[in-house]
Amino acid sequence: MCMIRSMILAGATILAAAPATAQRYDPRYPVCLQKWEWGGSTVIDCSYTLWAQCRMAASGLSAMCLANPYWPQAHPASPDRLYRRQGRVE
């Protein structure tokens, strides 16, 4: 019984020691830089306005540039979707 308690306590300590943080995509910038860090974790930084800026920042790093999925202009509405929104379904 004492062994089970110590295992539960050790597990809870390990889980509490490293809280996870959510990645933030800044909707003001269209390009994000995803960097891989030691231990396999990744960091996403959406602060680039041009692909060239991002590629320069990624140069020499274990990183890649990607389109920001939360940038408002990333998915323009098609005319078909626009008609549906206005209630003009034909």
Q: What pLDDT is stored for residue 73 in this prediction?
A: 78
Residue 40, pLDDT score: 87
Whole-model pTM: value is 0.57
What's the pLDDT tens digit per position in 18-59? 455 566 788 889 999 999 998 889 999 999 999 999 999 999
Closest CA to 21 of 10, 9, 6, 37: 37
What's the number of CA atoms in the CB half-sphere (13 Å) around residue 85?
Answer: 6
What is the pLDDT, as a whole number, of residue 36? 93
CA–CA distance, 4 with 27 (Å, rounded to integer): 47
What is the predicted pLDDT for the residue at 52?
96
33 vs 83, higher pLDDT: 33
Q: According to the model, what pLDDT value does residue 3 have?
A: 73
The domain ranges of the chain are: 22-73
